[in-house]
Amino acid sequence: MKDNTFQNYQYLFDGKINSNTILPNFSNHSLRHTFTTRMVESGTNLKVMQEILGHSDISTTMNIYAEATQELKEKEMKKLGESLQNNLSGLRQIYD
Q: Which residue ranges make up each domain of the chain? A: 1-65, 69-96
pTM for the structure as a whole: 0.53
In the prediction, which pLDDT does 6 show?
47
Q: What residue type is assigned to position 26 of the chain?
A: F
In the prediction, which pLDDT does 69 show?
78
In the prediction, which pLDDT does 95 show?
78
Tell me the C-alpha to C-alpha distance, in Å, between residue 18 and each of 5, 11, 12, 23, 32.
17, 10, 9, 9, 21
Tell me the residue length of the chain.
96
Residue ranges of the chain whose pLDDT lies below 50: 1-3, 6
- What is the Cα–Cα distance from 65 to 43, expressed in whole angstroms? 15
